[in-house]
Structure 1
């Protein structure tokens, strides 16, 4: 029996007063491709107890934005909702850095943007996590206005879990650039015997990580050097250089909101 869980996020970009701000909205749904019936018994206890700190997986946390996870034994528990830092609109090639993942927990600072996957199937056969950009950024007001040539990229990917690292899914050591809209890109792969339990696949890391990862998070400050705060959390915001959006200078940019759709897909193997 093959199953796929797709978690789709709408990523928006707002151009106002020569500032570039990115917004999002999300939708979650599950799809079963071959709905036959089976029963199985497993000694894998489904933790099912929330989202884990990607740098300290024994700790349950509450991300600022949450998604409704499926109840499948193989599932996506959490997917990043991406929001990009602001910058001046220019006719030069530009690169915009994502805001790091924030949490409602008082003692948890920002983290790299991450996706959490769980596999508690009775007969695990491995899994494949993929990402696809469904369309180029499109202006929601002015028909036909798109950000031609804009490219999202994901770097510094790594995994973490309460499980031993020898069972870790494998991630790309190269930068993943979504250069072709509609093409599906591999993010992580677990062979037979790998990826069981709950795993975080994270892009970037804080300077507090104990996993020997190079820090990619930088605190946000204004032109006067004062911290830029998240008013809903009363915490300083951070950027994460592991996730970026590149826009060619020649791309025409109309005022308004631009949106695209990112689809995260988890599939059973083989």
Structure 2
């Protein structure tokens, strides 16, 4: 009986040793270096806020400027339209003070002035007159910019028309800091119809796959801007000693432009 008891005790002790891990052989270590993949993401949404005007000679949207209205220098710059596709700015034109003449004459819109960092008008560094468009929709969906004249110049006092007067834009070009493909439609030169019915379609237009970011359509560069927007007035037209005014309407649409670029003069 004792020997049976001892044998039983010995069996229990042996089992306990096995369960406690005595004599256990360790598994082989995993591979080093060890790898594990994790996720990272960013989500973009359309920006509805307006975009400020930029310098047309260096249109960097991170460095906005304050253009000066040529006929009312103290007038604040009106904000651009809201939305991810926006018309940010368009220059007012000033053809200056001219002598009454009975000869045919051409007058040129003055270049644009900007305010410096000190808030003062920087008269030493004029820039071209321009219009600015920003596309922050993503996907390069395309858009088109046009302009029309809303009737002939009329005198302020008597509302007499400046018969035969015509505005012509020359040296049109685009500029941007964007890496997107440039708008394929750019009108180098065009004249406005003074009866209010004419529209210069697609002055600047981006087809699909073009035109993301901020783009300016400017009339000339620093060397040609002084004679890039012309007002021709017939000598036979009767003129009052008065100021003559009209308005232009710039229109931005989300309709993509033509796929073929405009040729100079079109």
Band of TM-score, shorter chain: 0.5 to 0.7
Q: Distance in 2 between matches of 1:47 and 1:73?
A: 7
Structure 2 contact 149–247 (Cα < 8 Å) conserved? yes
Alignment-derived partner of residue 252 in structure 2: 266
Q: Give the secondary-structure state (helix, strand or coil) at the position aligned to 2:113.
A: coil
Structure 1 contact 114–200 (Cα < 8 Å) conserved? yes
Alignment-derived partner of residue 79 in structure 1: 90
Aligned counterpart in structure 1 of residue 216 of structure 2, from 195, 200, 203: 200
Structure 2 contact 52–79 (Cα < 8 Å) conserved? no
Instruction: Describe how 1:101-180 pairs up with structure 2 within 5 A.
Output: 101-105=112-116, 109-122=125-138, 124-143=140-159, 145-164=160-179, 166-173=181-188, 175-180=189-194
Q: Distance in 1 between matches of 2:182 and 2:158?
A: 49
After superposition, the C-alpha distances for 1:127-178 in whole angstroms (9 at most, x for unaligned) are 11101111111123214x21111000111111111113733352113x2111
Q: Give the secondary-structure state (helix, strand or coil) at the position aligned to 1:205.
A: coil
Q: CA deviation at 1:42?
A: 4.7
When you count helix as a share of all residues, which structure comes out higher? 2
Q: Give the secondary-structure state (helix, strand or coil) at the position aligned to 1:109.
A: strand
After superposition, the C-alpha distances for 1:177-230 in whole angstroms (9 at most, x for unaligned) are 113522110211110011111111100111xxxxxxxx114xxxxxxxxxxxxx
Task: State which structure, 1 or 2, has the greater radius of gyration over its C-alpha atoms.
Answer: 2
Q: Distance in 2 between matches of 1:142 and 1:180?
A: 18
Where structure 2 has 5 or more consecutive residues not aligned to the other structure, the ranges are 1-42, 70-76, 257-266
Q: CA deviation at 1:126?
A: 1.2
Q: CA deviation at 1:102?
A: 0.2
Answering whether residue 231 of structure 2 is matched by residue 216 of structure 1, we say no
Answering whether residue 230 of structure 2 is matched by residue 244 of structure 1, we say yes
Instruction: Describe how 1:26-45 pairs up with structure 2 within 5 A.
Output: 42=44
TM-score, structure 1 as length reference: 0.67
Q: CA deviation at 1:49?
A: 5.1
Q: CA deviation at 1:250?
A: 0.6
TM-score, structure 2 as length reference: 0.68
Alignment-derived partner of residue 57 in structure 2: 55
Instruction: Describe how 1:219-238 pairs up with structure 2 within 5 A.
Output: none
Q: CA deviation at 1:68?
A: 2.1
Where structure 1 has 5 or more consecutive residues not aligned to the other structure, the ranges are 1-40, 207-214, 218-239
Q: Give the secondary-structure state (helix, strand or coil) at the position aligned to 2:252.
A: strand
Compute the RMSD of aligned alpha carbons: 2.3
Structure 1 contact 46–197 (Cα < 8 Å) conserved? no
Alignment-derived partner of residue 30 in structure 1: none
Q: Give the secondary-structure state (helix, strand or coil) at the position aligned to 2:125.
A: coil
Q: CA deviation at 1:92?
A: 0.5
Q: CA deviation at 1:47?
A: 8.3
